[in-house]
Structure 1
Amino acid sequence: MTTTRKAPWWESGVIYQVYPRSFQDSNGDGVGDLRGIEQRLDYIAALGVDAIWLSPIFPSPMVDFGYDVADYCGVDPLFGTLDDFDRLLKAVHAHGLRLLLDFVPNHSSDQHPWFLESRRSRDNPKRDWYIWRDPAPGGGPPNNWISDMGGSAWQWDEATGQYYLHAFLKEQPDLNWRNPAVRAAMTDVLRFWFERGVDGFRIDVLWHMIKAEGLPDNPLNPHYRAELGEKLKLLQIHSTNQPEVHDIAAAFRALADSYGDRLLVGEICLPVETLMHYYGREAPGVHLPFNFQLLDAPWHAQSLAAMIIAYEAALPAGAWPNWVIGSHDAPRIAARLGEPQARVAAMLLLTLRGTPTLYQGDELGIGKVEIPPDRIRDPQDLRQPGMGLGRDRSRTPMPWDGSANAGFSTAEPWLPLNPDWQQRNVQAEQHDSGSILSLYRELLRCRRASSALALGAFELVAADGDLLVYDRFDDRERVRVALNLAGNAIKLPFDFDPAAKLLVGTHPRESMGDMLRPNEGMAFRLSGPAAA
């Protein structure tokens, strides 16, 4: 296999998600900010990633912690100023990194000037910038749609006698993307940030942006269970994933491409066969439609192998895969799997074909964090208590060292720290060759040094019981990855080439051997030049 084209930076790159509220506080208010992120760029660069994705930093009432945007072309004072942003961006680039922003186009804050105008009267010029409807013939909401945060997706406005649509909180009214003026205004937003030098965007809930004409009722979900949360009572057939959204994605892509080597990542929570449409239909779509399958995949070798093979087979010609295993919305990897398997998961994520996205703190093995009832901040948890839907547990501050407040802030952090922060922090782990942080750094180093791991093809070797084995290869080398997903030793079902060289493993090893120890993963070169 020979690759002749020059791959864009993001194909061999690794994205690192920073949740700004929880990364580093520079001014002692207990909340992270842009200057704090700048202070920690040496850490991010030394980790070995290629790009930083920032969760929203825009002016916001913070009802949903920045995903309710009141000004798309500014910086919330909580995080700093536009000058702070420009300084951060310059510093990011000076570290050889790239910076992606979180673009939230489906909805704004109800405090955005556009919405304040829109709700002023039925004949306001911006009325149609949002989705307003009369009550149903018998009274009540216009249809049966349910908010992703629970409850009706419609909010009554007494002053104008109509309902407005909100797919999330009532403080997050949905924009009307069928209105050309909305498209033009939001395109200007993207252009504003591209002109400042950002390297791309992660596009929030891209699949939500267009609603079906006529806004018909969504059908009932025949497989609904209460523990799934209220939003899944219905199948979101008419409220999401409409064909016209691909025209919007194509327009975003054309704009990004006009600025050169820029990246668009789309948040799309849909089945794989539907997800693939977001790479583009008649015209190119987003570069990377986020692949979230590892977030809740059954942790069994055969299940993972089948999922990987099906995903690879579904990719359109020329499309590049990507993998996500942790995020600000999902439980921590180590909380789901335990630290021993979190190490194996790290090796899986960073050796599969495609662009991986890491979430801050997962490289430290942060596990379960209990949030006391009086410290809960997540509106999703507050609206549906006891459902286990809270996201605060994944947004706790980064523990940097063993000093007060883990070096995150001089004040009490806005959320509790992980309970073992005095032992599980950056300073402690970076000096421990056996730490999970050291493993992540070594995996990222090997990925960068190996052409096969960075851009090579994928081939399944074995998926039996708790053993998963696959090869990554190109015309220069073949690397084999063997993962033990169990707490007992497993014999490898193949003979070792005497010339095979261990590249990286979850456990220290003196020799290769034909057994994987419990919870062990290793990657070794079967052929090619000696390791760098």
Structure 2
Amino acid sequence: MKPARPLLAAFATLFAVATLSTRAATPPPAPPASQVFYQVFFRSFRDSNGDRIGDLKGLTAKLGYIRQLGATTILLTPLQPSPYYHNYFATAFRAVDPAYGTLDDYFAFVRAAHAQGLKVYLDEEFQYVAEGHPWWRDSICKPHAQYAGYLLWKDRQHCVAQPFLDKAKWLGYDGRDIGIAMVNLENPAVRDYFRDLLLYWADPHGDGSGRDGVDGFRIDHMMDDLDHKGLDTHLFTDFWAPIFQALKARRPTLRILAEQAGWGYGTKWLTDGHVDMVFAFPLRGALVSLDKRTIVKAIRATDAATPAGKQQVVFLENHDVDRYMSEVRGDPAKARAGAAIELMLKGDPLIYYGQELGMRGMQPKNVGKSGGIPLTDAVGIPVREAFRWQADLEAPGSAIWYKGGQWFWKDRYNRSNDGVSLQEEETRPDSLYHWYRRLLALRHARPELRQGSQRILCDDDSAVLCILREDGRRRTLLLVNLGKTEARPRLDPALAAGPAWVDLLDGGKPAPVDAVLRPMQVRIMGTPE
């Protein structure tokens, strides 16, 4: 979320979204391993018991699908109980929303994922609590209560909690008005509580083995001065760094991915914040534009902003932004071009569930306006619709928890038999689903795409984007014509006339690298193995 926006816009973005012992030295950071994230909006992925709500058993049953697609790592949205459907703003932290299953179901899922060679990252947001959390419920007007110091208060009597974005109540999609309060992150007891909480998820058995533990965390809305209020300050040094130090001491290979507040390049988070990865938000904006100069500028700025040993997570979609297929107005050629650039660039790519099918969805633009859509957390539902397993949207297993008489069901983007489902696309070799599988197979087969350097070629006024990935003598060259007419890549003659090139999208057949490309055509050339 982006707290610098005006109040209403910030709320829309959020919901379209949402004492350490210092004696142990922090171990050296583990070498970054290439990952392909698959982000699951949990409630919308797969239902196992017929209640239309995605759940842990449903996700566990579909781990094979995620692995076969080519992902290596599952990034989950929060699982903790919350009055909100997206499960940000918790009412309990060391727990699982009962709609999703039990703690036993959760640990069974983690074990099953690891058995398939998949890593698991949990999304954590604990800078706030929702009304109903015991820290709040048991401390109202009780300044001496056990957990009264765990929250921030506006009055000495502790009768009014310090609210999120200065609004006392926030309306949910189901009509409930719910309070959200700021947690007192400057309280050492709070820091210790969350340190122990994350250690529990990372190492449930407490023996350093990580058995049943997650492999990383996503930190939602990470800030140094929470919401720029001057109430929770110096968080990078005093709150986050000690927690991350404890996690790395216990699990040296565990990784921290931050959603940097403000959605910039994230350099301060990678340096001062001591995280391993941030999201490449500016690059995502450039990829939406499909404009060569904009993309080249964003690639260079992203590379310059990323210290050695740190990573950017490259993405087209997530639970806070519009679906890429809708961004390109349903143009399959543009969807393929965007996917190819994302998956061939330096960084760890992220695929948002259903992106590989071309699922559509855009957040409404008339939120809070006269005659428009009310300002609730429902504004994010269009980009969080049910994963399309079957051609029939309402087939068993479909997580259409949002079905009903409200606008987000009536105006839903995904419809039965619209061609955008796994069932329909598996049988079409030319489908977007198979395009993603081919690209991901290439990424796994070519070391230079996972760990190699990156150079921008054809740096001219032509419309052909040329990205060269290299690792020793191995080379892969991405060529994409982002223009509206045919174009030929303007490559250095020495490169074109050098060692033989093969077309990696055409069975590895020898081919010239400077052949003419149609508008939005993608070619991926490589040096033979």
- TM-score using structure 1 length: 0.79
User: How much has 1:107 moved relative to structure 2?
Assistant: 0.9
Q: How does 1:274-289 map to 2 (within 5 A)?
A: 275-281=266-272, 285-289=274-278
For residues 122 and 368 of structure 2, the distance between their equivalents in structure 1, rounded to whole angstroms, comes to: 23
State the match for 2:502 in structure 1.
Answer: 501
Taking a change above 3 Å as real, the CA distance of residues 59 and 330 of structure 1, as seen in their structure-2 partners, is same
Report whether the alignment pairs 1:71 with 2:92. Answer: yes
User: How much has 1:519 moved relative to structure 2?
Assistant: 1.3
State the match for 1:141 in structure 2.
Answer: none
* Cα displacement string for residues 405-453 of structure 1 (whole angstroms, at most 9, x for unaligned residues): 2553397764946136542111221232211111111111111111110
Report whether the alignment pairs 1:300 with 2:291. Answer: yes
Which of 197, 217, 220 matches 1:201?
217
Code of the residue aligned with 1:248 in structure 2: it is F
State the match for 1:147 in structure 2.
Answer: none
- Which deviates more, 45-54 or 430-439? 430-439
For residues 493 and 336 of structure 1, the distance between their equivalents in structure 2, rounded to whole angstroms, comes to: 29
Code of the residue aligned with 1:427 in structure 2: it is Q
Report whether the alignment pairs 1:14 with 2:36. Answer: yes
State the match for 2:385 in structure 1.
Answer: 396
State the match for 1:431 in structure 2.
Answer: 427
* Cα displacement string for residues 201-225 of structure 1 (whole angstroms, at most 9, x for unaligned residues): 111111266466755xxxxxxxxxx
The SS at the match of 1:198 is coil
For residues 237 and 320 of structure 2, the distance between their equivalents in structure 1, rounded to whole angstroms, comes to: 25
State the match for 2:242 in structure 1.
Answer: 251
Q: How does 1:321-336 map to 2 (within 5 A)?
A: 321-336=312-327
User: How much has 1:251 moved relative to structure 2?
Assistant: 2.1
Q: How does 1:351-500 map to 2 (within 5 A)?
A: 351-368=344-361, 385=374, 390-403=379-392, 405-409=394-398, 414=403, 416=412, 418-419=414-415, 421-463=417-459, 464-494=461-491, 495=496, 497=498, 499-500=500-501
The SS at the match of 2:477 is strand
How many residues end up aligned between the 2 structures?
467
For residues 250 and 410 of structure 1, the distance between their equivalents in structure 2, rounded to whole angstroms, comes to: 38
User: How much has 1:123 moved relative to structure 2?
Assistant: 3.3
Contact 2:342 2:349 in 1 (8 A): yes
Q: How does 1:9-408 map to 2 (within 5 A)?
A: 11-62=33-84, 65-134=86-155, 160=159, 163-166=162-165, 171-196=179-204, 197-207=213-223, 210=226, 243-258=234-249, 259-270=251-262, 272=264, 275-281=266-272, 285-297=274-286, 298-337=289-328, 338-368=331-361, 385=374, 390-403=379-392, 405-408=394-397
User: How much has 1:161 moved relative to structure 2?
Assistant: 5.6
Taking every aligned residue pair, what percent have the same amino acid on both sides?
28
Contact 1:250 1:285 in 2 (8 A): yes
* Cα displacement string for residues 20-41 of structure 1 (whole angstroms, at most 9, x for unaligned residues): 1111111111111111101111
- TM-score using structure 2 length: 0.79
The SS at the match of 2:480 is strand
For residues 362 and 413 of structure 1, the distance between their equivalents in structure 2, rounded to whole angstroms, comes to: 20
Contact 1:28 1:411 in 2 (8 A): no
For residues 82 and 372 of structure 1, the distance between their equivalents in structure 2, rounded to whole angstroms, comes to: 39
Report whether the alignment pairs 1:521 with 2:522. Answer: yes
Contact 2:290 2:482 in 1 (8 A): yes
State the match for 2:6 in structure 1.
Answer: none
Code of the residue aligned with 2:268 in structure 1: it is H
User: How much has 1:482 moved relative to structure 2?
Assistant: 1.0
Code of the residue aligned with 1:268 in structure 2: it is Q
Contact 2:292 2:464 in 1 (8 A): yes
User: How much has 1:272 moved relative to structure 2?
Assistant: 4.3
For residues 367 and 212 of structure 1, the distance between their equivalents in structure 2, rounded to whole angstroms, comes to: 34
Q: Say what the alpha-carbon RMSD is for the aligned residues.
A: 3.5
The SS at the match of 2:194 is helix
For residues 474 and 111 of structure 1, the distance between their equivalents in structure 2, rounded to whole angstroms, comes to: 54
The SS at the match of 2:128 is coil
Taking a change above 3 Å as real, the CA distance of residues 449 and 8 of structure 1, as seen in their structure-2 partners, is farther
- Which deviates more, 241-250 or 185-194? 241-250
Contact 1:488 1:518 in 2 (8 A): yes
